[in-house]
Amino acid sequence: MSTTTARAPRGRQFFANPGPTNIPDSILHAVAHVSIDFNDPAFLTVYDGCVAGLKRVLRTEQEVFLYTGSGHAAWEAALVNLFSPGDALLVIETGHFSESWGKMAKDLGLEVGTVAADWRRGVDFAALRAALAADTGHAIKAVCAVHNETATGMELPLTEVRAALDATGHPALLLADTISSLGSLDFRMDEWGVDVAVGGSQKGLMLPTGMSFTGVSARAMAAHAASRLPKSYFSWTNMLARRHRSFIGTVPTSLFYGLRESLRLLEEEGLDNVFARHARLAEAVRRCVRHWSGNDGPQLFCLSPDRFSNSVTAVLMPEGHDAEAVRRIALQSFNVSLGGGLGRLGGKVFRIGHLGDLNEPMILGTLASVEIALRLAGVPHSPGGVDAAIAWLAEAARAA
Ligand SMILES: *Cc1c(COP(=O)(O)O)cnc(C)c1O
Protein backbone atom coordinates (compact mmCIF):
# COMPACT_ATOMS: atom_id res chain seq x y z
CA MET A 1 0.00 0.00 0.00
CA SER A 2 1.33 3.38 -0.96
CA THR A 3 2.12 5.70 1.91
CA THR A 4 1.42 8.75 -0.22
CA THR A 5 -2.30 8.21 -0.80
CA ALA A 6 -4.58 10.49 1.14
CA ARG A 7 -6.16 8.98 4.21
CA ALA A 8 -9.69 7.79 3.55
CA PRO A 9 -11.87 10.45 5.12
CA ARG A 10 -13.86 9.24 8.10
CA GLY A 11 -16.23 11.30 10.14
CA ARG A 12 -17.58 14.57 8.84
CA GLN A 13 -15.52 16.94 6.81
CA PHE A 14 -14.87 20.13 8.78
CA PHE A 15 -15.78 22.73 6.26
CA ALA A 16 -14.05 25.94 7.30
CA ASN A 17 -14.48 27.85 4.05
CA PRO A 18 -15.99 31.32 4.23
CA GLY A 19 -18.56 30.36 1.60
CA PRO A 20 -20.16 28.15 0.77
CA THR A 21 -20.66 27.24 4.41
CA ASN A 22 -21.94 24.21 6.33
CA ILE A 23 -25.56 23.36 5.54
CA PRO A 24 -27.44 22.24 8.67
CA ASP A 25 -29.10 18.83 8.37
CA SER A 26 -32.55 20.34 8.75
CA ILE A 27 -31.91 22.62 5.77
CA LEU A 28 -30.56 19.72 3.69
CA HIS A 29 -33.75 17.84 4.41
CA ALA A 30 -35.92 20.85 3.64
CA VAL A 31 -34.20 21.42 0.29
CA ALA A 32 -34.89 17.81 -0.71
CA HIS A 33 -38.43 18.74 -1.70
CA VAL A 34 -40.35 17.28 -4.63
CA SER A 35 -41.05 19.59 -7.56
CA ILE A 36 -44.00 21.86 -7.06
CA ASP A 37 -45.70 24.34 -9.38
CA PHE A 38 -44.39 27.73 -8.32
CA ASN A 39 -47.90 29.14 -8.62
CA ASP A 40 -49.35 26.44 -6.35
CA PRO A 41 -51.03 28.21 -3.41
CA ALA A 42 -49.12 25.97 -0.99
CA PHE A 43 -45.83 27.17 -2.43
CA LEU A 44 -46.94 30.81 -2.60
CA THR A 45 -47.50 30.71 1.15
CA VAL A 46 -43.94 29.46 1.66
CA TYR A 47 -42.63 32.02 -0.81
CA ASP A 48 -44.36 35.01 0.73
CA GLY A 49 -43.22 33.92 4.19
CA CYS A 50 -39.62 33.73 2.96
CA VAL A 51 -39.69 37.19 1.42
CA ALA A 52 -41.10 38.63 4.65
CA GLY A 53 -38.44 36.77 6.67
CA LEU A 54 -35.65 37.95 4.40
CA LYS A 55 -36.83 41.52 4.93
CA ARG A 56 -36.60 40.98 8.69
CA VAL A 57 -33.01 39.72 8.34
CA LEU A 58 -32.11 42.65 6.05
CA ARG A 59 -33.99 44.93 8.48
CA THR A 60 -35.85 46.59 5.67
CA GLU A 61 -39.45 47.36 4.89
CA GLN A 62 -38.63 48.28 1.29
CA GLU A 63 -38.41 46.14 -1.89
CA VAL A 64 -36.55 42.85 -2.20
CA PHE A 65 -35.77 41.23 -5.57
CA LEU A 66 -34.45 37.67 -5.84
CA TYR A 67 -32.41 35.98 -8.56
CA THR A 68 -31.49 32.45 -9.57
CA GLY A 69 -27.73 32.94 -9.57
CA SER A 70 -24.88 33.36 -7.09
CA GLY A 71 -23.90 36.66 -5.48
CA HIS A 72 -22.38 37.90 -8.72
CA ALA A 73 -25.85 37.87 -10.28
CA ALA A 74 -27.15 40.20 -7.59
CA TRP A 75 -24.09 42.45 -8.03
CA GLU A 76 -24.92 42.75 -11.73
CA ALA A 77 -28.64 43.20 -11.08
CA ALA A 78 -27.89 46.13 -8.77
CA LEU A 79 -25.70 47.84 -11.36
CA VAL A 80 -27.84 47.37 -14.48
CA ASN A 81 -31.03 48.38 -12.70
CA LEU A 82 -29.70 51.64 -11.29
CA PHE A 83 -27.34 53.22 -13.77
CA SER A 84 -26.89 54.54 -17.30
CA PRO A 85 -23.83 54.19 -19.58
CA GLY A 86 -20.94 56.33 -18.34
CA ASP A 87 -22.35 56.94 -14.84
CA ALA A 88 -19.65 57.34 -12.20
CA LEU A 89 -19.36 55.05 -9.18
CA LEU A 90 -17.02 55.29 -6.23
CA VAL A 91 -15.81 51.92 -4.93
CA ILE A 92 -14.26 51.75 -1.47
CA GLU A 93 -11.23 49.48 -1.77
CA THR A 94 -11.29 46.61 0.67
CA GLY A 95 -9.71 43.73 -1.25
CA HIS A 96 -10.46 41.12 -3.88
CA PHE A 97 -14.25 41.52 -3.72
CA SER A 98 -14.29 45.32 -3.99
CA GLU A 99 -11.93 44.99 -6.99
CA SER A 100 -14.16 42.38 -8.62
CA TRP A 101 -17.33 44.41 -8.17
CA GLY A 102 -15.56 47.47 -9.60
CA LYS A 103 -14.31 45.46 -12.57
CA MET A 104 -17.83 44.25 -13.25
CA ALA A 105 -19.07 47.85 -13.23
CA LYS A 106 -16.37 48.79 -15.77
CA ASP A 107 -17.33 45.82 -17.95
CA LEU A 108 -20.90 47.14 -17.92
CA GLY A 109 -19.80 50.56 -19.19
CA LEU A 110 -19.65 52.53 -15.94
CA GLU A 111 -16.88 54.89 -14.82
CA VAL A 112 -15.30 53.53 -11.67
CA GLY A 113 -13.29 55.59 -9.21
CA THR A 114 -11.73 54.03 -6.15
CA VAL A 115 -11.02 55.25 -2.64
CA ALA A 116 -7.72 53.44 -2.25
CA ALA A 117 -6.99 51.61 0.97
CA ASP A 118 -4.35 49.38 2.51
CA TRP A 119 -5.88 45.86 2.51
CA ARG A 120 -4.48 45.13 5.98
CA ARG A 121 -5.62 48.36 7.65
CA GLY A 122 -8.77 49.34 5.81
CA VAL A 123 -9.95 52.61 4.36
CA ASP A 124 -9.32 55.97 5.98
CA PHE A 125 -12.76 57.62 6.11
CA ALA A 126 -11.16 61.05 5.75
CA ALA A 127 -10.18 59.97 2.22
CA LEU A 128 -13.78 58.97 1.48
CA ARG A 129 -15.07 62.29 2.80
CA ALA A 130 -12.50 64.17 0.72
CA ALA A 131 -13.47 62.30 -2.45
CA LEU A 132 -17.14 63.06 -1.88
CA ALA A 133 -16.50 66.70 -0.95
CA ALA A 134 -14.40 67.17 -4.10
CA ASP A 135 -17.32 65.98 -6.25
CA THR A 136 -19.15 69.32 -6.07
CA GLY A 137 -21.10 68.58 -9.26
CA HIS A 138 -22.40 65.30 -7.78
CA ALA A 139 -21.21 63.22 -10.74
CA ILE A 140 -20.80 60.21 -8.44
CA LYS A 141 -24.07 58.30 -8.58
CA ALA A 142 -23.25 55.67 -5.97
CA VAL A 143 -20.74 54.52 -3.37
CA CYS A 144 -20.11 50.77 -3.44
CA ALA A 145 -19.07 49.24 -0.12
CA VAL A 146 -18.27 45.62 0.69
CA HIS A 147 -19.55 45.26 4.25
CA ASN A 148 -17.36 42.26 5.01
CA GLU A 149 -14.30 41.72 2.78
CA THR A 150 -14.18 37.94 2.65
CA ALA A 151 -10.69 37.92 1.12
CA THR A 152 -8.97 39.81 3.96
CA GLY A 153 -11.18 39.19 6.99
CA MET A 154 -12.08 42.81 7.55
CA GLU A 155 -15.39 44.53 8.25
CA LEU A 156 -16.12 47.92 6.72
CA PRO A 157 -18.24 49.94 9.16
CA LEU A 158 -21.18 50.98 6.97
CA THR A 159 -22.36 53.55 9.48
CA GLU A 160 -19.11 55.44 8.78
CA VAL A 161 -19.80 55.32 5.06
CA ARG A 162 -23.29 56.68 5.67
CA ALA A 163 -21.83 59.37 7.94
CA ALA A 164 -19.38 60.46 5.22
CA LEU A 165 -22.24 60.83 2.72
CA ASP A 166 -24.32 62.77 5.23
CA ALA A 167 -21.44 64.99 6.39
CA THR A 168 -20.69 66.06 2.82
CA GLY A 169 -24.37 66.30 1.85
CA HIS A 170 -23.62 64.02 -1.09
CA PRO A 171 -26.73 62.46 -2.68
CA ALA A 172 -24.98 59.31 -4.04
CA LEU A 173 -26.76 56.03 -3.45
CA LEU A 174 -25.13 53.65 -0.95
CA LEU A 175 -24.73 50.11 -2.30
CA ALA A 176 -23.62 47.49 0.22
CA ASP A 177 -22.41 43.98 -0.51
CA THR A 178 -23.59 41.96 2.50
CA ILE A 179 -22.88 38.56 0.92
CA SER A 180 -20.58 37.36 3.73
CA SER A 181 -22.09 39.44 6.54
CA LEU A 182 -25.85 38.96 6.38
CA GLY A 183 -27.00 36.57 9.08
CA SER A 184 -23.55 36.68 10.72
CA LEU A 185 -22.84 40.35 11.50
CA ASP A 186 -25.24 43.10 12.48
CA PHE A 187 -26.69 44.76 9.39
CA ARG A 188 -29.56 47.25 9.24
CA MET A 189 -30.52 48.32 5.76
CA ASP A 190 -33.15 50.96 6.55
CA GLU A 191 -31.62 52.36 9.74
CA TRP A 192 -28.21 52.75 8.11
CA GLY A 193 -29.60 54.33 4.95
CA VAL A 194 -28.40 51.59 2.62
CA ASP A 195 -30.06 51.93 -0.79
CA VAL A 196 -29.19 48.52 -2.18
CA ALA A 197 -28.12 45.55 -0.06
CA VAL A 198 -26.71 42.63 -2.03
CA GLY A 199 -26.93 39.17 -0.46
CA GLY A 200 -26.46 35.53 -1.38
CA SER A 201 -27.69 32.15 -0.20
CA GLN A 202 -24.52 30.15 0.57
CA LYS A 203 -22.88 32.09 3.38
CA GLY A 204 -24.61 33.26 6.56
CA LEU A 205 -27.94 31.88 5.37
CA MET A 206 -26.41 28.36 5.29
CA LEU A 207 -28.12 27.35 2.03
CA PRO A 208 -26.80 25.77 -1.15
CA THR A 209 -25.38 28.18 -3.74
CA GLY A 210 -27.71 29.43 -6.43
CA MET A 211 -29.91 32.18 -5.08
CA SER A 212 -29.14 35.81 -4.43
CA PHE A 213 -31.14 38.93 -3.75
CA THR A 214 -31.10 42.68 -3.37
CA GLY A 215 -32.92 44.85 -0.85
CA VAL A 216 -33.84 48.05 -2.69
CA SER A 217 -34.78 51.41 -1.16
CA ALA A 218 -37.41 53.81 -2.48
CA ARG A 219 -34.59 56.16 -3.57
CA ALA A 220 -33.00 53.31 -5.51
CA MET A 221 -36.35 52.53 -7.16
CA ALA A 222 -36.48 56.16 -8.33
CA ALA A 223 -32.97 55.81 -9.80
CA HIS A 224 -34.09 52.58 -11.46
CA ALA A 225 -36.89 54.40 -13.26
CA ALA A 226 -34.28 56.66 -14.95
CA SER A 227 -31.61 54.02 -15.64
CA ARG A 228 -30.67 53.18 -19.24
CA LEU A 229 -28.22 50.26 -19.03
CA PRO A 230 -29.65 47.31 -20.99
CA LYS A 231 -31.41 44.71 -18.84
CA SER A 232 -34.07 42.09 -19.25
CA TYR A 233 -33.56 38.95 -17.14
CA PHE A 234 -32.49 41.11 -14.20
CA SER A 235 -34.94 43.96 -14.78
CA TRP A 236 -36.78 45.01 -11.63
CA THR A 237 -39.56 46.51 -13.76
CA ASN A 238 -40.05 43.15 -15.49
CA MET A 239 -39.99 41.41 -12.13
CA LEU A 240 -42.58 43.72 -10.56
CA ALA A 241 -45.04 42.66 -13.26
CA ARG A 242 -44.91 39.07 -11.98
CA ARG A 243 -46.85 37.50 -9.11
CA HIS A 244 -43.56 36.72 -7.39
CA ARG A 245 -42.19 40.25 -7.88
CA SER A 246 -38.85 38.51 -8.65
CA PHE A 247 -37.44 35.78 -10.91
CA ILE A 248 -37.88 35.87 -14.66
CA GLY A 249 -38.55 32.21 -15.45
CA THR A 250 -38.86 29.25 -13.11
CA VAL A 251 -38.62 29.95 -9.38
CA PRO A 252 -36.05 27.76 -7.55
CA THR A 253 -38.69 26.26 -5.27
CA SER A 254 -36.38 23.84 -3.42
CA LEU A 255 -34.21 26.72 -2.23
CA PHE A 256 -37.28 28.37 -0.75
CA TYR A 257 -38.05 25.31 1.38
CA GLY A 258 -34.43 25.59 2.51
CA LEU A 259 -34.72 29.34 3.09
CA ARG A 260 -37.85 28.85 5.19
CA GLU A 261 -35.85 26.52 7.44
CA SER A 262 -32.83 28.84 7.47
CA LEU A 263 -34.99 31.76 8.59
CA ARG A 264 -36.61 29.54 11.23
CA LEU A 265 -33.20 28.59 12.61
CA LEU A 266 -31.94 32.18 12.65
CA GLU A 267 -35.07 33.47 14.35
CA GLU A 268 -35.24 30.58 16.82
CA GLU A 269 -31.70 31.41 17.99
CA GLY A 270 -32.40 35.14 17.72
CA LEU A 271 -30.34 37.37 15.44
CA ASP A 272 -28.57 39.05 18.36
CA ASN A 273 -27.53 35.65 19.71
CA VAL A 274 -26.39 34.62 16.23
CA PHE A 275 -24.16 37.71 16.03
CA ALA A 276 -22.84 37.10 19.57
CA ARG A 277 -21.99 33.49 18.69
CA HIS A 278 -20.08 34.66 15.60
CA ALA A 279 -18.19 37.24 17.70
CA ARG A 280 -17.28 34.61 20.32
CA LEU A 281 -16.05 32.01 17.84
CA ALA A 282 -14.18 34.62 15.79
CA GLU A 283 -12.34 35.83 18.88
CA ALA A 284 -11.31 32.23 19.64
CA VAL A 285 -9.80 31.99 16.16
CA ARG A 286 -7.96 35.29 16.54
CA ARG A 287 -6.53 34.39 19.95
CA CYS A 288 -5.28 31.13 18.50
CA VAL A 289 -3.65 32.83 15.49
CA ARG A 290 -2.10 35.52 17.70
CA HIS A 291 -0.54 32.76 19.75
CA TRP A 292 0.79 31.00 16.63
CA SER A 293 2.40 34.27 15.52
CA GLY A 294 5.13 33.80 18.16
CA ASN A 295 8.42 32.38 16.78
CA ASP A 296 7.79 34.36 13.56
CA GLY A 297 4.73 32.26 12.87
CA PRO A 298 1.62 33.01 10.81
CA GLN A 299 -0.23 36.14 11.82
CA LEU A 300 -3.58 37.88 11.47
CA PHE A 301 -3.75 39.54 8.07
CA CYS A 302 -6.04 42.27 9.40
CA LEU A 303 -4.11 44.87 11.39
CA SER A 304 -7.10 46.95 12.54
CA PRO A 305 -8.63 45.35 15.65
CA ASP A 306 -11.73 47.57 15.47
CA ARG A 307 -12.47 46.11 12.03
CA PHE A 308 -11.80 42.40 12.59
CA SER A 309 -14.36 40.34 10.71
CA ASN A 310 -16.44 38.03 12.86
CA SER A 311 -17.22 35.76 9.91
CA VAL A 312 -13.78 35.01 8.41
CA THR A 313 -10.15 35.29 9.46
CA ALA A 314 -7.32 35.54 6.93
CA VAL A 315 -4.02 34.16 8.22
CA LEU A 316 -0.81 35.54 6.67
CA MET A 317 1.98 33.00 6.25
CA PRO A 318 5.54 33.79 7.27
CA GLU A 319 7.77 34.80 4.33
CA GLY A 320 8.89 31.81 2.28
CA HIS A 321 6.08 29.48 3.38
CA ASP A 322 3.21 28.46 1.11
CA ALA A 323 -0.34 28.70 2.43
CA GLU A 324 -1.42 26.12 -0.14
CA ALA A 325 0.81 23.49 1.48
CA VAL A 326 -0.99 24.00 4.80
CA ARG A 327 -4.37 23.82 3.10
CA ARG A 328 -3.40 20.64 1.26
CA ILE A 329 -2.26 18.87 4.42
CA ALA A 330 -5.33 20.01 6.34
CA LEU A 331 -7.59 18.62 3.63
CA GLN A 332 -5.76 15.41 2.77
CA SER A 333 -4.76 14.35 6.26
CA PHE A 334 -7.58 15.71 8.41
CA ASN A 335 -10.47 16.37 6.03
CA VAL A 336 -10.54 20.05 7.02
CA SER A 337 -11.36 22.39 4.14
CA LEU A 338 -9.87 25.88 4.53
CA GLY A 339 -10.27 28.88 2.23
CA GLY A 340 -7.33 29.87 0.04
CA GLY A 341 -5.85 33.30 -0.67
CA LEU A 342 -7.72 35.15 -3.41
CA GLY A 343 -6.15 37.17 -6.21
CA ARG A 344 -2.86 38.73 -5.18
CA LEU A 345 -3.06 36.98 -1.79
CA GLY A 346 -2.86 33.53 -3.43
CA GLY A 347 -0.35 31.32 -1.56
CA LYS A 348 0.23 34.08 1.00
CA VAL A 349 -2.82 33.59 3.18
CA PHE A 350 -5.25 30.87 4.09
CA ARG A 351 -8.66 31.71 5.43
CA ILE A 352 -10.66 30.17 8.23
CA GLY A 353 -14.36 30.68 7.64
CA HIS A 354 -16.32 30.90 10.88
CA LEU A 355 -19.79 31.82 9.75
CA GLY A 356 -23.06 30.02 9.58
CA ASP A 357 -23.79 26.70 11.24
CA LEU A 358 -20.88 26.48 13.67
CA ASN A 359 -20.15 25.83 17.32
CA GLU A 360 -17.21 25.59 19.73
CA PRO A 361 -16.16 22.00 19.05
CA MET A 362 -16.16 22.61 15.30
CA ILE A 363 -13.91 25.66 15.73
CA LEU A 364 -11.59 23.85 18.14
CA GLY A 365 -11.35 20.83 15.86
CA THR A 366 -10.49 23.06 12.93
CA LEU A 367 -7.88 25.05 14.85
CA ALA A 368 -6.28 21.90 16.24
CA SER A 369 -6.07 20.40 12.75
CA VAL A 370 -4.53 23.58 11.35
CA GLU A 371 -1.96 23.54 14.14
CA ILE A 372 -1.00 19.96 13.25
CA ALA A 373 -0.81 20.98 9.58
CA LEU A 374 1.56 23.85 10.50
CA ARG A 375 3.80 21.34 12.26
CA LEU A 376 3.72 18.90 9.36
CA ALA A 377 4.41 21.65 6.83
CA GLY A 378 7.40 22.84 8.84
CA VAL A 379 5.92 26.30 9.32
CA PRO A 380 7.41 28.11 12.33
CA HIS A 381 4.85 28.98 14.98
CA SER A 382 4.33 29.09 18.71
CA PRO A 383 2.58 25.80 19.58
CA GLY A 384 -0.47 25.83 21.83
CA GLY A 385 -2.69 28.27 19.98
CA VAL A 386 -5.64 26.00 20.59
CA ASP A 387 -5.12 26.40 24.35
CA ALA A 388 -5.52 30.15 23.92
CA ALA A 389 -8.81 29.50 22.08
CA ILE A 390 -9.95 27.12 24.84
CA ALA A 391 -9.17 29.66 27.56
CA TRP A 392 -11.18 32.33 25.75
CA LEU A 393 -14.17 30.07 25.10
CA ALA A 394 -14.22 29.01 28.76
CA GLU A 395 -14.13 32.63 29.84
CA ALA A 396 -16.92 33.51 27.41
CA ALA A 397 -19.07 30.55 28.55
CA ARG A 398 -18.59 31.48 32.20
CA ALA A 399 -19.66 35.06 31.53
CA ALA A 400 -22.77 33.98 29.58
C1 LIG B 1 -18.78 35.26 -1.92
C2 LIG B 1 -18.78 36.72 -2.12
C3 LIG B 1 -19.14 37.30 -3.34
C4 LIG B 1 -19.44 36.50 -4.56
O5 LIG B 1 -20.57 35.76 -4.43
P6 LIG B 1 -20.79 34.45 -5.34
O7 LIG B 1 -21.99 33.85 -4.68
O8 LIG B 1 -19.55 33.64 -5.20
O9 LIG B 1 -21.04 34.90 -6.71
C10 LIG B 1 -19.17 38.68 -3.41
N11 LIG B 1 -18.86 39.44 -2.36
C12 LIG B 1 -18.49 38.92 -1.18
C13 LIG B 1 -18.15 39.82 -0.06
C14 LIG B 1 -18.42 37.55 -1.03
O15 LIG B 1 -18.04 37.02 0.15
pTM for the predicted model, two decimal places: 0.97
For residues 116 and 182, membership in a common domain is answered with yes
CATH number of the CATH domain containing 46: 3.40.640.10
| Atom nearest to 72 CA in ligand 1 | 9
Same domain for 244 and 129: yes
For residue 210, tell me if it sits in a domain. Answer: yes
What CATH number corresponds to the domain at position 280?
3.90.1150.10
Domain contains 93? yes
Q: Identify whether residues 348 and 244 lie together within a single domain.
A: no
351 is in an annotated binding site: yes
Q: Is residue 7 part of a domain?
A: no
Residue 97 Cβ inside 6 Å of ligand 1? The answer reads: yes
Residue identifier of the C-alpha nearest atom 2 of ligand 1: 179
From 72, 144, 206, give the residue whose CB has the most ligand 1 atoms within 8 Å, as the site to mutate: 72
Q: Give me ligand 1 centre to Cα 70, in Å.
A: 8
Q: What digits encode the pLDDT tens for the residues 340-383? A: 999 999 999 999 999 999 999 999 999 999 999 999 999 999 99
**One domain for residues 252 and 275:** no
Question: What is the band of 3 on the pLDDT scale with cuts at 50, 70, 90?
Answer: very low
Q: Which atom of ligand 1 is nearest to the CA of 178?
A: 13
- In this predicted model, what pLDDT tens digit does every residue of 258-281 receive, in sequence order? 999 999 999 999 999 999 999 999
Domains of the chain: total: 2
Q: Are residues 275 and 295 in the same domain?
A: yes
Q: Is 262 in the pocket of ligand 1 (CB under 6 A)?
A: no
Q: How far is the CA of 198 from the centre of ligand 1 (A)?
A: 9
Domain with 382 in it:
270-399
- Residue 7 pLDDT grade (very low, low, confident, very high; cuts 50, 70, 90): low
Q: How large is the average pLDDT for residues 161-171?
A: 98
For ligand 1, say whether the CB of 204 is within 6 Å of any of its atoms: no
72 CB under 6 A from ligand 1? yes
- Of 239, 267, 295, the position where a domain reaches its end is 267
- The answer to whether position 2 is within a domain reads no
Q: Indicate if 57 and 125 belong to the same structural domain.
A: yes
Q: Which of 241, 267, 293 is the last residue of a domain?
A: 267
Ligand 1 pocket, residue 122 CB under 6 Å: no
Would the pLDDT of 2 be above 50? Answer: no
In a domain, 16, yes or no: no
Average pLDDT, the chain: 97
Same domain, yes or no: 171 and 198: yes
- 201 with 324, same domain: the answer is no
> Is the residue at 359 inside a domain?
yes
Last residue of a domain, one of 199, 233, 267: 267
In a domain, residue 5? The reply is no
Within-domain flag for 57:
yes
Quick one: three-class SS letters along the chain?
Answer: CCCCCCCCCCCCCEEECCCCCCCCHHHHHHHCCCCCCCCCHHHHHHHHHHHHHHHHHHCCCCEEEEEECCHHHHHHHHHHHHCCCCCEEEEECCCHHHHHHHHHHHHCCCEEEEECCECCCECCHHHHHHHHHHCCCCCEEEEEEECEECCCCEECCHHHHHHHHHHHCCCCEEEEECCCCCCCCCCCCCCCCCCEEEEECCCCCCCCCCEEEEEECHHHHHHHHHCCCCCCCCCHHHHHCCCCCCCCCCCCHHHHHHHHHHHHHHHHHCHHHHHHHHHHHHHHHHHHHHHHCHHHCCEECCCCHHHECCCEEEEECCCCCCHHHHHHHHHHHHCEEEEECCHHHCCCEEEEECCCCCCHHHHHHHHHHHHHHHHHCCCCCCCCHHHHHHHHHHHHHHHC
Q: Are residues 244 and 99 in the same domain?
A: yes
* Ligand 1 neighbourhood includes 152 CB (under 6 angstroms): no
Determine contact, residues 30/260, Cβ cutoff 8 Å.
yes
98 and 132 housed in the same domain: yes
Mutate to test the pocket of ligand 1, among 79, 97, 155, 311 (most ligand atoms within 8 A of CB): 97
Same domain, 183 and 172: yes
Q: Are residues 46 and 161 in the same domain?
A: yes
Q: What is the pLDDT of residue 6?
A: 56
